[in-house]
Amino acid sequence: MTTTLVPSFPAPTGPSPPGGVPEPTAASPSPARWIRPALVALLLGTAAAYLWDLSVSGYANTFYAAAVQAGSKSWKAFFFGSLDTSNFITVDKTPGALWVMDLSARLFGFNTWSLLVPQALEGVAAVGILYATLKRWFGPKAGLLGGLVLATTPVAALMFRFDNPDAFLVLLLVAGAYALTRAIEGARTRWMVATGALLGFAFLAKELQAFTVVPAFAAAHLLAAPGALRRRIAQLGVGLASLLVAAGWWVVMVALWPTGSRPYIDGSPDNNIFNLIFEYNGFSRLSGSSGPGGGFSGPAGLFRLFDDLMGGQALWLLPAALVALAAGLLWTRRAPRTDRTRAALVLWGGWLVVTGAVFSFSSGIIHPYYTVALAPAIAALVGIGATLAWRQRALLSTRVLASATLLATAGWSFALLDRTPAYQPWLRFVVLAAGLSGAAGILAVGRLRRVELAVLGGVSLAACLGGPLAYGATTIVTAHSGGTPSAGPAVASATGPGGLAGGPGLGRGGAGPAGGPPGLGRRGAIGRRPPALGGSGAFPGGPPSGSSLRAGRAGRLAGGPSSGGGLGTPGGRGGSVSSALVKALGTGSDHYEWVVAMFGSQQAATIELATGGLPVMAIGGFNGQGANISLATFESYVAAGKIHYFIASGSQQGPQRANSDAAIASWVEAHYRSTTVGGITLYDLTSPR
């Protein structure tokens, strides 16, 4: 047995063995016998899991669902990502992720399945591409393990069955990593163009979050691609140009489009696409200038990813991934510049560290489900680390490190499962026992026979994946809705919109920070069916500040009982709409640009979905930072006969927005007749007092 404690892995510069880590001869059957069936089983199993009872969540996030419905009916709404077919206002994101769902709805008709099946298939594709990426340099076993880890990550099971932009974002980032891997192999410029284009389209899915991987991608290529430094820098420049074109063409078109013939840009008080990108969805998320995010994901800091809100989403194997990263960089410290093992560690490790740091230290709103963007990097590092450890299993130091890592992973899983003591209480002890057994077996791996090695592999997988598999299964069979969904069971000690635990009717939702919107996440009051219209207000903060309205009018503005309540809640949670209201809004709808005007995109989305896509004017947008129209502007719409009805339900954040809403509501109430339909007060803007 060799006495070397720190192996050095030579890297190929041409067609030599991938990764520079030659596979030692082992008494195992040729992988060709079972690799392909295993891959097919992995992909089919992932598809079955992600497609299982997919309609359980209905339209999931009704905010995006309504935009998809609009995009399936209007090409202009498709292009801009408008909430309504008459193109009053967009959603508060760039529309790249909506386009896939829009096309599906156009082909198959708009329904739950056409909305969510593309998301599930994007998850299957991400698993397959991750397998292909890892296989190129580390072999099919690494690819299978990495794909399995990604597929079983609880938050992946959530977001690939949901209509938020994160599913498409993750798929494009993984595809970008594959393209970069091909670019590094032969310093191929065309693959750098593909890498930039994929990252650019990822930007159109979720804006600046897509760029958190760019430092890692650039460092990996600059470090390890063959050729002179000048050539590598030039190729990076080509990739950057491709990224800017792919990300910027839509932005430039929107910026140059005459404002009078396009929808308002939600998330931008001044109707400016650059404000949406760089402030609302950009630097304010880092600084917290648009509002604190601690209530959604815990206090910012080094250990945020490990807290009760974030830990169980995607971070089960984070300690193992970090160990693999550190050990791999140590093992390859003397390797040639073009070493592929180190390049892969820089790529996936940089992705994990930079994106994780952004999520950890941002003072603005960071939702727990954002951690799905970390899942591919964690999965890749686990696959790479396990492969490197196996290839160096003759070294005692490697076996000790692998054994300790498995034991730490099982201990971390025990701690995560212990946060939900009533949830499968036996599972955490099984996971811990499997970890102890696997750790002992790894130390003795050199004396184990083929069957014993197979048992050891199964026990080790149970220790690592038992917790996430259970959380993922629970996620799949549970209905989710709203803008703050969360994977797995409710965590007893978690607080805030993303993870407030409670009795029946709360789950992972509940009231947000003082004065803020409630966040309905997993389960919540909805179960399998959305709640009926009516009930308490859309915002708990009471009537808008500065309002001079009498109590009844203030109740309507706050979505209180006097008006029949709020039509959905912030965060995209929908409600049910009475058949009487649907009939009233549909009567003569062809004669109006908008069948009804109201405050807030969430409430508007609820009505649009219930009426089959009739256009609703959502004044103030998602949270009052878009379509800030004045009373005079609203009066001009009414005078032109463009709006049939008005519903004074919901309010917006901020005194300026609230005052404007109050002025519009007061003017409507003073000048137009009202009637109550299905518990909702409707003002007929064609019937003056």
User: Which pairs count as long-range contacts for 497-504, CB under 8 Å and 24+ apart, including other chains?
Assistant: 497/295, 497/296, 497/521, 497/571, 498/295, 498/296, 498/297, 498/309, 498/367, 498/368, 499/308, 499/309, 499/368
User: Could you state, in chain order, the average pLDDT of each consecutive group of 10 residues for the chain (689 residues)?
Assistant: 38 39 41 85 97 94 97 97 97 96 97 96 98 96 97 97 97 98 91 97 96 97 93 95 97 96 94 93 81 73 91 95 96 93 97 96 91 97 95 91 95 95 94 94 84 88 94 94 89 47 32 32 32 31 29 31 40 68 93 95 94 95 87 95 88 53 90 92 92
Which 8-state DSSP code applies to residue 689? Answer: -
Instruction: Give the per-residue pLDDT at 417.
Output: 95
| Degrees to nearest 5, angle at CA 543 with 618 and 647 | 35
CA distance linking residue 123 with residue 161, whole number of Å: 9
State the amino acid at position 104 in one-letter form: S
Helix 112-138 vs helix 96-108: crossing angle, to nearest 10:
120
CA distance linking residue 576 with residue 558, whole number of Å: 18
State the amino acid at position 197 in one-letter form: A
Instruction: Give the per-residue pLDDT at 31.
Output: 57
Residue 590: partners with Cβ closer than 8 Å, 6 or more residues away: none
Instruction: Give the per-residue pLDDT at 162.
Output: 97
Q: What are the tokens at 326?
A: 């550190």
Find out whether 20 and 334 touch, Cβ atoms under 8 Å: no
Measured in degrees and rounded to the nearest 5, phi and psi for residue 148 equal: -65, -40
E strands within 409-560?
Answer: none
Helix 96-108 vs helix 166-186: crossing angle, to nearest 10:
110
CA distance linking residue 9 with residue 6, whole number of Å: 10
Q: What are the tokens at 508?
A: 């992972």
CA within 13 Å, CB half, 22:
6
Instruction: Give the per-residue pLDDT at 300.
Output: 87
Q: What are the tokens at 487?
A: 């994977």
Is the sign of the CA dihedral 342, 183, 172, 142 positive or negative?
Answer: negative
| One-character DSSP codes across 123-153 | HHHHHHHHHHHHHHHH-HHHHHHHHHHHHT-
Q: What are the tokens at 161?
A: 């069955």
State the amino acid at position 152 in one-letter form: T
Mapped onto helix, strand or coil, the DSSP state of residue 683 is: strand
State the amino acid at position 97 in one-letter form: A
Find out whether 214 and 246 touch, Cβ atoms under 8 Å: no
Find out whether 55 and 477 touch, Cβ atoms under 8 Å: no
Instruction: Give the per-residue pLDDT at 320.
Output: 96
| One-character DSSP codes across 60-118 | SSHHHHHHHHHHTT-HHHHHHTBSSTT-SBB-SS-SHHHHHHHHHHHHH-SSHHHHHHH
| One-character DSSP codes across 257-318 | S-GGGS-B-TT-TT--HHHIIIIIIIIHHHH-TT---HHHH-SSSTTGGGSTTTHHHH-TTH
CA distance linking residue 395 with residue 99, whole number of Å: 51
Which 8-state DSSP code applies to residue 583? Answer: H
The CA-atom distances, in angstroms, between 409 and each of 8, 275, 373 are: 26, 42, 20
Question: Chain centroid to CA 419: how far?
Answer: 23
Q: Burial of 439 by CB count in 10 Å (0-12 exposed, 13-18 middle, 19+ buried)?
A: buried
Minimal CA–CA distance to 461: which of 22, 35, 144? 144
Minimal CA–CA distance to 217: which of 165, 253, 178? 178
pTM comes to 0.85
Measured in degrees and rounded to the nearest 5, phi and psi for residue 95 equal: -95, 10
- Which bin fits 436, alpha (ψ -120 to 50), beta or left (φ > 0)? alpha
Residues in the chain: 689
Q: Alpha helix (H) ranges present in 187-282?
A: 189-206, 214-224, 229-256, 273-275
Q: Burial of 190 by CB count in 10 Å (0-12 exposed, 13-18 middle, 19+ buried)?
A: exposed
